[in-house]
Chain A
Amino acid sequence: MVTGHAKDSFEGIFKKAVRSRISKQSDDTCEIELLPPSAINATTEEHAVILTVSSIVFRLLLVFHFNEDESTREYFVNEGSEASLQEVLLEVFNLTCGALNQELLQYFPDLGMSTPYVLSARCLPHLLGLKPDVLSSYAITINGHVRLGATLCVCAHAPVDFIADLSAVEESSGELELF
């Protein structure tokens, strides 16, 4: 029920949101690699953060997976900060999903976004149980050494077809999504 154009648009919007919100500095490199479908059964990360964007015709689940390793902690947690890696990442992932939500609002006027929730990454294979129309897993690498994973899952309840205009200049700051 999700056309090829819509699938490409969802994936393009996801990548744009990740590139604009995951990296701390604008000159940090952010590589996003699409993984084969089987990768969802072999995630190496331990934790997963799930967020949902709902519309009348579809729901989009954005799942970020991560390990609480030293390189991830060093990159995301500011020196001297008392916040835990999980707290910082919840905010970063929430902002990323907020950027994705803002972009989708151009094509779907009625949208709502959930607050993030932490699960075990072992839950990821069970996303297939939701019978998604789009299920894509990605490996995200920042500055060549900080590694995260992400899974985009779209379940449609009606035909979804749109073409996202991804040529627009990315904004340097976006609306703050509070949770």
Chain B
Amino acid sequence: MIGQYLLAALAGSAITALLALALHKLHHGKVVARIRSEADARAESHSQIATRHSELAVQAEQANLALESLVSQLREELAQQSKIADENRALLAATVEDKNQWAEQAKRIASEASRLKSLAGTFERWHEQMISLMAQNQDMHAKNQELSSIVKHVVIVSLNASIEAARAGAAGRGFAVVAGEVRALAARSEELSKSYRDSLHRNDITTAATFQDIQAGGKMITASLGSVELLAGQFKSRLH
């Protein structure tokens, strides 16, 4: 009996153990399945992360390359800009030098124009010569006037001589011829005196017109030089 009981108990135990084992295996299977599933999910996740990492690495590499290219380009541009800056600096220095030279030239032009304005004195000196020439002309006018008076007197004398010769009759014929000759000479002298007077008047107007032209021309040149001096001064002021 006891054996049966023991057998039954053993059998029961065995069955229980089998049930427990079965349950354990079932539970283990579930756990394993769950763990495998989780492992698969993690593996999948790891795979995705690895892929992402790989992509990121490629992107990073590309970005790195682009960055290097940009740096290189910037370096080239910097070098070029530096070169341009150097050139501009040289150009500016040359321009400043040119400007200084222009200012110097403008100063010289203004100074030269100012100096040449003293030419006015030369023109005035020439004009003063006109006064001297005209004084001589006046003297010749006076002498010619005197000559004209003498000639007129000779004409009267010769006329009187002719009258006296006529009164003397035949004895005065020779004298009448001489008186006639004297009158003819006086008439020629009178013509010559008139012609000489005309020449002097022509000489007066020609001399006055010529010397006034010189004087006025001198003032014109002086005024023009004044304008040049002013413009050169203004140009010089603008350069500074």
Do these two chains interact? yes
Check B206 against A59 for contact (C-beta < 8 Å): no
Provide the bound-state CA to CA distance between A123 and B224, in Å.
Answer: 33
A55 sits at the interface (CB 8 A) = yes
Check B201 against A122 for contact (C-beta < 8 Å): yes
CB B228 to nearest CB in A, in angstroms, measures 11
Residue of B whose beta carbon sits closest to that of A115: B215
Check A61 against B220 for contact (C-beta < 8 Å): no
A127 sits at the interface (CB 8 A) = yes
Q: How large is the interface on B (under 10, 10 to 19, 20 to 34, 35 or more residues)?
A: 20 to 34
Provide the bound-state CA to CA distance between A168 and B208, in Å.
Answer: 33
A:112-126 near B, CB below 8 Å? 112-115, 117, 119-120, 122-124, 126
CB B136 to nearest CB in A, in angstroms, measures 14
Check A111 against B209 for contact (C-beta < 8 Å): no
Q: Specify which chain B residues have a CB less than 8 angstroms from the CB of A159 in the assembled complex.
A: none
> Which of B201, B204, B208, B222 lies at the interface centre, i.e. has the most chain A CB atoms within 10 A of its CB?
B208
Check B212 against A117 for contact (C-beta < 8 Å): yes
Check A50 against B209 for contact (C-beta < 8 Å): yes
B104 sits at the interface (CB 8 A) = no
Provide the bound-state CA to CA distance between A114 and B213, in Å.
Answer: 7
B:216-240 near A, CB below 8 Å? 216-224
Q: Specify which chain B residues have a CB less than 8 angstroms from the CB of A123 in the assembled complex.
A: 201-202, 204-205, 208
Q: Specify which chain A residues have a CB less than 8 angstroms from the CB of B222 in the assembled complex.
A: 112
Check B220 against A54 for contact (C-beta < 8 Å): yes
Q: Given A113, A124, A130, which contacts B216 in the complex, CB threshold below 8 Å?
A: A113
CB A114 to nearest CB in B, in angstroms, measures 4
Check A130 against B209 for contact (C-beta < 8 Å): yes
Check A112 against B216 for contact (C-beta < 8 Å): yes
Proximity bits, B11-49, A CB within 8 Å = 1, else 0: 000000000000000000000000000000000000000
Provide the bound-state CA to CA distance between A135 and B141, in Å.
Answer: 26
A:40-57 near B, CB below 8 Å? 50-56
Check B220 against A55 for contact (C-beta < 8 Å): yes
Provide the bound-state CA to CA distance between A53 and B215, in Å.
Answer: 9
Provide the bound-state CA to CA distance between A126 and B218, in Å.
Answer: 25
Q: Given B197, B209, B217, B218, which contacts A61 in the complex, CB threshold below 8 Å?
A: B209
Check B208 against A117 for contact (C-beta < 8 Å): yes
> Which of A50, A53, A54 lies at the interface centre, i.e. has the most chain B CB atoms within 10 A of its CB?
A54
Q: Specify which chain A residues have a CB less than 8 angstroms from the CB of B217 in the assembled complex.
A: 54, 112
Check A50 against B216 for contact (C-beta < 8 Å): no
CB B203 to nearest CB in A, in angstroms, measures 9
Residue of A whose beta carbon sits closest to that of B206: A129
A110 sits at the interface (CB 8 A) = yes
Q: Given B134, B212, B223, which contacts A52 in the complex, CB threshold below 8 Å?
A: B212
Check B223 against A110 for contact (C-beta < 8 Å): yes
Q: Specify which chain B residues have a CB less than 8 angstroms from the CB of A130 in the assembled complex.
A: 205-206, 209
Given A112-B217, A112-B219, decide whether A126 and B212 contact each other with a Cβ distance below 8 A.
Answer: no
9 contacts between A and B (CB under 8 A): A50-B212, A54-B212, A54-B217, A61-B212, A112-B215, A114-B216, A123-B201, A126-B202, A130-B209
